[in-house]
Structure 1
C-alpha cells in the first residue's frame, strides 16, 4: 500500500481530494438486493475486480485510507492492497430497515414508485440521517487535507458525492455507481467539484 505522510498541521490545510471505490460485486448486489448490515461475501468476479482496481490505484499515493466496517468493503480494500485501511463506522451503507434484502420491484409491490432517495425505509435511515453521518466523515477529511481514499458502498457513496458538493443527499439519484469503480471528488477554482465518476 503506497501512503504518504499526512500534511503538516502548520499553516492552512491543502485542498482535499477524495477518491471513492465501491466494493466488489456480491450475489446480492448482482441481483439488485438492498444490502446494508447483512454481510454478503464478494463473488469470484467481485474479488477479481477488487484486485484489478488495486492495480489501477497502485501509482497513486494517499494521505489517508478509510473503509466501511462491512466485510464486503474491507475485503475489497484488502484485495486492492489496502488491508491497513482505517475502519470508519460512518461509511456504512444506507440502513434499509425492513427493506433489507429486497429488490426495488419487490418494494414497489408494497409502495408504488418507491426509491431510497424519495421514500422512507421503515426501521432504517432517512436521507437526512445518512447525510449527517457522512458530513462528519467529510469534516475530518477536509481538516486533514491531501488525498483520501475511501472504500464504501453504492448508495452511501452517491450520497457522499452530493454532500461533498454541498447538495442534498437525494440528488444522488442522478449518479450511477457500479461495483469496483473509481470516482474522484476534487475542486475547481476552490469550489468542490466532481473530477471523475464511475470510472
Structure 2
C-alpha cells in the first residue's frame, strides 16, 4: 500500500476572481504563497518521500515553497483543458457551468472526462510504484477525476477542492484505494 497525497496548488489571482484556469499557465498570488506556507507543516507531518508535480507554474511554485527537492514533473498531472472557458467565471458561463461540475458537459474545445481519467489513472499507477508517501502537486479537476476513478465519488457529489489543500488516498498494488483525508486545508473555508 502507498499513501498518495494529492495537493491542490495555492491560489492564483484567477482563483480569487473565480476565473477557470484549466491549462492557462498562471503563477501563485501572494495570498496563495502564504497559504502554501501555512499548509507546509501539515504536509511535512506526512513525510513524503517522492514528489511529483504538474508542469504548470502554479504547481511548480507550490512545490518550491514547500522546499521539495528532486521533483518529478509529469504532464499527466496537469489540469484538465477547459477550452473556450479558460479565463471565464461561472457567472459568465451560466447554467452550463453546473452541468460541467456535475460531469455531464464538456466545455467547448475542452478535454473530455474520459481523457482526463485515462491519463490520471495511469499517473496514479506510476506514482504509487514510487517510494511513499508520494506527494503529487496538482489541480482541483485532476483530484476530482482521481476520486471518481479510485473512490467512486462522482464530481457532482464533491465540494470544490480548496487551494491549497491535501486529499490523501491509500492505494493498494492492485489499484484499489481508500480515502484517508479529503480537502484538508490550513485555513477554514
**Deviation string, structure 1 residues 22-63 (Cα, Å, up to 9, x no partner):** 111111111211102222221111001111222222233223
The yes-or-no answer on 1:26 pairing with 2:12 is yes
What are the ranges of 5 or more consecutive residues in structure 1 without an aligned counterpart? 1-14
State the partner residue of 1:184.
Answer: 168
Q: Cα RMSD between the aligned structures?
A: 2.1
Q: Given the two structures, how large is their TM-score scaled by the length of structure 2?
A: 0.86
Query: Residues of 2 paired with 1:46 and 1:142: CA distance?
Result: 28
The yes-or-no answer on 1:114 pairing with 2:118 is no
Query: Residues of 2 paired with 1:100 and 1:112: CA distance?
Result: 12
**Deviation string, structure 1 residues 123-149 (Cα, Å, up to 9, x no partner):** 120111100100110121233463211
**Deviation string, structure 1 residues 142-183 (Cα, Å, up to 9, x no partner):** 334632111011111111222222x37xx1232221001111
**Deviation string, structure 1 residues 75-111 (Cα, Å, up to 9, x no partner):** 01110111532111000001001111111221127x4
1:154–1:175: structure 2 CA closer, same or farther, 3 Å change rule? Answer: same
1:59–1:114: structure 2 CA closer, same or farther, 3 Å change rule? Answer: closer
Q: How many residues end up aligned between the 2 structures?
A: 180
Q: Given the two structures, how large is their TM-score scaled by the length of structure 1?
A: 0.82
What are the ranges of 5 or more consecutive residues in structure 2 without an aligned counterpart? 185-189
State the partner residue of 2:187.
Answer: none
Larger Cα-atom Rg: 1
